[in-house]
Amino acid sequence: MKLTWLGHSGFRIEIGDQVLLLDPWMTGNPMFPPERRADAIAGATHILLTHGHGDHSSDTLGLARELAIPVVGIYDLMSFWAEKEGIQTIGFNKGGTVRLGNVEVTLVHAVHSSSVAGENGPIYTGSEAGFMISHQGRTIYASGDTDVMADMKIFNDLHAPEIGILCAGGYFTMDMRRAAYAANTFFDFKTVIPCHYRTFPILEQSAAVLKDSLPGVDVIEPEVLVPIAL
């Protein structure tokens, strides 16, 4: 298994027979080097989208067309894009599981919002979500944008993820302290990778609080386009 940060909340996840692009925002992402775009998307099989905000979704339609691969996410938005944009989609809902090759992907709850900008104000794009991504008994929890929630105990009971990709930048999502609380209270992670931080000055710039709060967990501060083998 190999995880590569694309900056902000974007990841390239190589797992089983799949190469998944999770929230791959590259265009306009101040952390992403545009000259490395081809490396980031090479061999991708699916795009996983947690919600509609532009810092997660704005490259999705273009990549789906360019790579001729499906977008996987909440039913409402996937159905709309399939009809209006003509792209391949796999739309389902929270609690549902789909099989992508030999990888299982379950859509789980998140607490945030989900919209894109429209001429007359926000256009809502279905509900925000996270993902459980599983292969051969190993599971990644990708939180999407969320706050701490008691549902996370249920996630751990049902899925027992060993790897957590947790939003932790604060202001728009849980911060490092709250992400640490979630990890300590509800999960038994072996590895935690923070995201949705460092992108802008308003977000947290260091994961020191997260590391200090999880002494028994391997907290990895990712570097953009440096693969993490797990």
* pLDDT for res 117: 86
* pLDDT for res 160: 98
Contact 106, 131 (CB under 8 A): yes
CB atoms inside a 10 Å sphere around CB 189: 23
SS3 content of the chain, % helix, strand, coil (to 5): 25, 30, 45
Task: At 88, list the tokens.
Answer: 């391949």
If the chain, 230 residues long, is cut into consecutive pieces of 10 residues, what is the mean pLDDT of each piece? 98 98 98 98 98 96 98 97 97 98 98 92 94 98 98 98 98 98 98 98 98 97 98
* pLDDT for res 27: 97
- Domains, the chain, in order of start with CATH, read 2-229 (3.60.15.10)
Task: At 51, list the tokens.
Answer: 């919600």
Task: Give the Cα separation of 31 and 83 in Å (integer).
Answer: 33
Task: Give the Cα separation of 199 and 31 in Å (integer).
Answer: 6
φ, ψ for residue 22, nearest 5 deg: -95, 120
Max distance between CA atoms of the chain, in angstroms, equals 49
Contact 168, 179 (CB under 8 A): yes
Task: At 11, list the tokens.
Answer: 């990841």
Task: Give the Cα separation of 163 and 141 in Å (integer).
Answer: 6
pTM greater than 0.95 (yes/no): yes
